[in-house]
């Protein structure tokens, strides 16, 4: 066995608690309590089809109902494709996971039932795998055999391979040959054939699986391919980590998803010449996102992050990382993970130190990295925070929301980023992934074409922070070394410029927006708030005029020709929240409701609409409990804006010069 020496496994067995063993048994009871079921052909498709199209939540998977799939919200039954194929993909995942878990259980308990179950699963897949039909059709992805995408092949094969490593010594030479030739080699060769020449978390997963199989089979060509070729592991690390160590795709979920793959390889390779720990971007990637925990206690749901994936639950990464590379950051990450749960888990047992040091859980902090393009500002005294996204374009898993804004008050999201849902659900491409469902500029209700924003200025004063950013569509479209599908409208954003300057004052966040619109397209400065609109009486109810993602908006109201207005919101569990808006020309104000995430409740949308050739707005977000702030005396010239903020009985007069990026409290 390569994963652990005999001495290491003896120590693990000695430390294993009854509760850990029982958890392993419980987590695999579907496989343990039923006859082994392996598809005889390539009928499995994609697990992300297994979502309710209306609510965007995962369907309830039932081992005894391969042709009946129910929504947990309202019990509605779904039948046929794509749900049946997704049911089989889920089963393949359970089988693969069981090979690893039950193989480990056999070592921990010496119970032959676990060995026999793994043996039966592996031999069944080895029987059918070479004859599985190659099939696919999943957006952005190569094909699969047991499943419908190359990524899923890699995810299953790494667990099948590690399970085989656990029980290899108990198999006959004939059984070993069958599994190694018809399953592991077949799988590795298929993955080599279909690994794509691109930077991507998928390729990290694929490389890691090929590398693990290479270690188990002592196959040098597999190891060389996985580690050292273009788009191999080191190439991905060297080119895919940007700035202080953020994975280029810009999703914290996929950042750690790529690292999960890398660690699955490293856990077997760490004491061999094939270890990747010497690559400096490995530790940078492990550490950097820990700076991005918000005062909600979670990561922001930037880009493709399915609801729930924003939670810091990565014991499987940080137990191993802390033992190999002990540091304060990893100790704090583990302290955060174990605030409310026991450390009695498999990852701590297999890879953790005997006793963790005392460490403080991670806390939200102000952080600014120009290359990564994420700025977070925290007001500790009031527990308010702002995140401004000015990140470079990240490809497939990015959202089209340059200069997007998140605001929290008292540790609660007010202006959230929604993330997304399962990619097979209509709400993913139809709603969550669109520009229109983010707190940013939308043109013609179309998706922003890819652009790398410019950070014009970042300043910190005694009582403020200023971040000045520009998205300039007069420049060439951004691109990445990663496959993409055009889901944007370049013509809509042609020659548009969007300059968003944020002035952070702790209990107030003020934004200055200057939008160049030479072709007089429909501009919508969009805000969605986790609350309810106040004061509808000054608006007229209308039919929803929007197309695209917000065509599903309901309770739409409009007031036209506004230059100064205040929009209030009722916030559950908090004081009301107000946006004070002054523009330099007439704008229309459209309000309505559209889905939150999950789509079982709604957000309150406010759109500031204009077709003028240049739109200038000042928006004051009052995050205070007293809600006493007012915005007054706004004036513009070609280079400057002056504005007065009254708050807590005091008035402050400010000037910002756009040409010199100079902010002055007059």
Residue 538 pLDDT greater than 80, yes or no: no
d(CA 491, CA 406): 28
Please tell me the predicted confidence (pLDDT) of residue 340.
87
| Average confidence (pLDDT) over 141-155 | 95
Cβ-count burial of 586 within 10 angstroms (0-12 exposed, 13-18 middle, 19+ buried)? exposed
Residue 445 pLDDT greater than 70, yes or no: yes
Please tell me the predicted confidence (pLDDT) of residue 533.
96
Q: Note the pLDDT tens digit of each residue in 176-193.
A: 999 999 999 999 999 999
Residue 331 pLDDT greater than 70, yes or no: yes
Please tell me the predicted confidence (pLDDT) of residue 648.
84
What topology is assigned to 367-632 in CATH? Beta-galactosidase; Chain A, domain 5 (2.70.98)
d(CA 293, CA 295): 7
Q: Which of 138-147, 399-408, 504-513, 529-538 has the lowest mean pLDDT?
A: 529-538
**Residue in the structure block whose two tokens are 């010239």:** 637
Q: Note the pLDDT tens digit of each residue in 560-579.
A: 999 999 999 999 999 999 99
Please tell me the predicted confidence (pLDDT) of residue 69.
97
The model's pTM: 0.94
Please tell me the predicted confidence (pLDDT) of residue 649.
85
Cβ-count burial of 14 within 10 angstroms (0-12 exposed, 13-18 middle, 19+ buried)? exposed
Residue 497 pLDDT greater than 90, yes or no: yes
Task: Give the sign of the dihedral formed by CA 398, CA 402, CA 403, CA 408.
Answer: negative
Average pLDDT, the chain: 96
DSSP line for 547-597: -GGGGG-EEEEEEEEEEEEEEEEE-TTS--EEEEEEEEEEEEEEEEEEE-S
d(CA 571, CA 412): 10
Residue 1 pLDDT greater than 90, yes or no: yes
Strands (E) in 596-661, as ranges, are 602-610, 614-622, 630-636, 640-647, 650-657
Residue 612 pLDDT greater than 70, yes or no: yes
Residue 265 pLDDT greater than 80, yes or no: yes
d(CA 231, CA 205): 12
Residue 536 pLDDT greater than 80, yes or no: no
Cβ contact 552:464 at 8 Å: no
Residue 219 pLDDT greater than 90, yes or no: yes
Burial 105-142, CB ≥16 within 10 A → b, else e: bbbbbeeeebbebbbebbbbbbebbeebeebbebebbb
Beta strand 69-70 with 404-409 is: unpaired
Q: Note the pLDDT tens digit of each residue in 22-69.
A: 999 999 999 999 999 999 999 999 888 999 998 989 999 999 999 999
DSSP line for 491-534: TTTTT-EEEEEEEE-SSEEEEEEEEE-TT---EEEEEEESSEE-
Count, residues in the chain: 666
d(CA 536, CA 530): 17
Please tell me the predicted confidence (pLDDT) of residue 109.
97
- What residues contact 156, with CB distance under 8 A and at least 6 apart? 92, 93, 95, 96, 146, 147
| Average confidence (pLDDT) over 346-368 | 96
Domain ranges of the chain: 367-632
Q: Note the pLDDT tens digit of each residue in 633-651.
A: 999 999 999 999 999 889 9
């Amino acid at each position: 066995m390569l994963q652990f020496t005999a001495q290491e496994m003896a120590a693990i067995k000695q430390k294993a608690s009854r509760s850990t063993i029982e958890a392993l048994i419980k987590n695999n009871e579907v496989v343990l309590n039923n006859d082994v079921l392996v598809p005889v052909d390539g009928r499995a498709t994609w697990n992300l089809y297994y979502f309710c199209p209306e609510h965007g939540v995962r369907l309830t998977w039932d081992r005894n109902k391969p042709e009946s799939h129910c929504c947990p919200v309202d019990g509605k039954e779904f039948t046929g494709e794509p749900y049946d194929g997704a049911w089989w993909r889920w089963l393949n995942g359970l089988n693969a996971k069981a090979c690893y878990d039950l193989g480990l259980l056999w070592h921990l308990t010496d119970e032959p039932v676990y060995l026999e179950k793994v043996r039966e699963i592996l031999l069944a897949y080895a029987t059918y795998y070479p004859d599985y039909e190659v099939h696919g059709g999943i957006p952005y992805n190569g094909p699969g055999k047991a499943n419908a995408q190359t990524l899923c092949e890699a995810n299953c094969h790494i667990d099948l391979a590690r399970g085989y490593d656990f029980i290899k010594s108990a198999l006959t030479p004939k059984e070993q040959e069958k599994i190694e030739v018809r399953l592991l080699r077949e799988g590795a060769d298929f993955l080599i054939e279909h690994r794509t020449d691109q930077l991507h978390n998928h390729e990290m997963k694929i490389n890691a699986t090929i590398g693990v199989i290479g270690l188990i089979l002592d196959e040098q060509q597999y190891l060389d391919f996985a580690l050292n070729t273009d788009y191999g592991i080191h190439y991905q690390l060297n080119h895919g980590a940007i700035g202080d160590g953020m994975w280029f795709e810009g999703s914290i979920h996929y950042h750690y998803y790529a690292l999960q793959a890398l660690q699955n390889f490293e856990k077997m390779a760490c004491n061999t010449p094939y270890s990747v720990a010497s690559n400096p971007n490995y530790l940078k990637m492990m550490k950097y996102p820990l700076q991005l925990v918000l005062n909600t206690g979670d990561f922001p749901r930037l880009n493709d992050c399915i609801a729930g994936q924003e939670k810091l639950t990565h014991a499987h990464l940080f137990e191993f990382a802390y033992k190999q590379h002990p540091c304060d950051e990893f100790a704090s990450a583990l302290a955060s993970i174990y605030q409310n749960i026991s450390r009695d888990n498999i990852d701590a047992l297999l890879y953790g130190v005997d006793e963790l040091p005392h460490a403080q859980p991670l806390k939200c902090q102000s952080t600014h990295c120009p290359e990564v393009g994420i700025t977070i500002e925290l007001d500790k005294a009031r527990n308010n925070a702002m995140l401004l996204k000015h990140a470079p374009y990240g490809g497939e898993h990015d959202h089209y929301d340059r200069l997007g804004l998140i605001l929290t008050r008292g540790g609660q999201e007010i202006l959230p980023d929604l993330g997304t849902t399962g990619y097979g659900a209509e709400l993913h491409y139809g709603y969550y992934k669109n520009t229109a469902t983010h707190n940013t500029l939308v043109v013609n209700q179309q998706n922003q074409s890819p652009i790398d924003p410019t950070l014009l200025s970042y300043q910190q004063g005694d009582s403020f922070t200023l971040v000045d950013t520009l998205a300039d569509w007069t420049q060439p479209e951004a691109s990445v070394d990663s496959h993409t599908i055009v889901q944007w409208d370049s013509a809509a954003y042609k020659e548009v410029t969007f300059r968003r300057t944020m002035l952070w004052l702790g209990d107030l966040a003020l934004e200055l927006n200057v939008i160049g619109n030479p072709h007089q397209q429909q501009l919508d400065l969009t805000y969605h708030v986790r609350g309810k609109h106040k004061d509808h009486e000054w608006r007229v109810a209308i039919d929803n005029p929007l197309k695209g993602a917000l065509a599903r908006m309901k309770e739409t109201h409009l007031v036209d020709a506004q230059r100064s207005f205040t929009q209030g919101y009722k916030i559950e569990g908090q004081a009301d929240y107000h946006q004070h808006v002054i523009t330099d020309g007439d704008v229309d104000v459209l309000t309505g409701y559209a889905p939150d995430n999950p789509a079982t409740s709604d957000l309150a949308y406010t759109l500031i609409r204009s077709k003028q050739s240049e739109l200038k707005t000042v928006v004051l977000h009052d995050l205070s409990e007293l809600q006493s702030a007012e915005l007054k005396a706004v004036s513009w010239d070609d280079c400057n804006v002056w504005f007065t903020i009254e708050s807590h009985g005091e008035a402050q007069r400010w000037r910002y010069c756009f040409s010199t990026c100079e902010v002055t409290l007059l």
